[in-house]
Amino acid sequence: MKFTKMHGAGNDYIYVNGFEEQIPGPAQLAELAIKLSDRHFGVGGDGLVLILPSEMADFRMQMFNADGSEGRMCGNAIRCVGKYVYDNGMIDVEASATSRGARNSITIETLSGIKSLDLVVEASEVTAAKVNMGAPEFSVETMGVDVTVGGGVASGGAMLAPRIFKLNCVSMGNPHAVVFLTDDEPITDELVLGYGPLIQQAPLFPQGVNVEFAKVESAGVIRMRVYERGSGETLACGTGACAVAVAARELGMTDASVDVILLGGVLRIDYTGGEVVYMTGPAVKVFEGEI
């Protein structure tokens, strides 16, 4: 099986072209994702992404986290899917005469719905993509929150873990719990690696949750770290950056456009409120291989 290692702002996955490679059966995919994602005994990555045919969009993305669980959506991974299919001639689009600054649109099916991408092409190669991430949701049902434990937390609340945190919960096709820190508190390993898994596994979230610790540095800049369900801490999370930007905007803390600074790079999030969140960020090929 041939594969391509790619990353979006340091959020790295192993990509397999399902149009050309024989994909294992469902029972084997989780095991394969665990084996390949291991950074010592496998290829190494935050998970496995399959690029597949779709009856509803140009392509379908199926993703598995490093622990073998299937993910619904990944904003960084979907940009890399766009880069893969363009750079490998799987879509018929024409760049501008100079092949710089050309934008080409495609659609990709995910478990969180169909997402549209504008690909940024430079020198006949995709370097970045702007993704229509859809509308944020705040309902308890969408978040999968156990209301018998703490009803109403999906729009903000508190939880003991054992420290008390105010959680601002947003679904971007997958659930996120955002913690905004005060100006005098840094984003530490104790918070991310200590409290992150405690919040993620709390009875309040029976389906688990992605946890973001964020600091608003100005009306146009947010700094964050993320502890993802199924992967642990990652260098970047596209849906998490969107959730942080949405929560900050809804609370009146930021402008409509913000740069979200993650450990692996910067993502641009545009959210005016309402129906659509746009995310713009890089897509980078690391290497190709065969297993």
Catalytic residue among 80, 169, 237, 242: 237
CA distance 284 to 155: 35
Say whether both 189 and 157 belong to one domain: yes
Q: Is the pLDDT higher at 204 or at 37?
A: 37
CA distance 102 to 198: 45
Q: Predicted confidence band at 244 (pLDDT cuts at 50, 70, 90)?
A: very high
**Closest by alpha carbon to 222, among 194, 191, 256?**
256
* Structural domain containing residue 161: 140-275
Q: Predicted confidence band at 100 (pLDDT cuts at 50, 70, 90)?
A: very low
pTM across the whole model: 0.90
- pLDDT tens digits, one per residue of 4-25: 999 999 999 999 999 999 999 8
Say whether both 112 and 188 belong to one domain: no
Say whether both 226 and 266 belong to one domain: yes
Say whether both 147 and 124 belong to one domain: no
Say whether both 100 and 171 belong to one domain: no
**CATH (domain of 168):** 3.10.310.10
* % of the chain residues with pLDDT over 70: 90
Q: Domains in the chain: how many in total?
A: 2
CA distance 153 to 205: 10
Say whether both 12 and 36 belong to one domain: yes
Say whether both 115 and 205 belong to one domain: no
Catalytic residue among 74, 80, 169, 242: 74
Say whether both 101 and 153 belong to one domain: no
**Closest by alpha carbon to 115, among 59, 194, 180?**
59
74 flagged as catalytic:
yes
pLDDT at site 37: 98
Say whether both 165 and 240 belong to one domain: yes
Mean pLDDT score, 102-130: 90
Say whether both 102 and 154 belong to one domain: no
Say whether both 249 and 171 belong to one domain: yes
Say whether both 153 and 195 belong to one domain: yes
pLDDT at site 2: 98
Mean pLDDT score, 156-172: 76
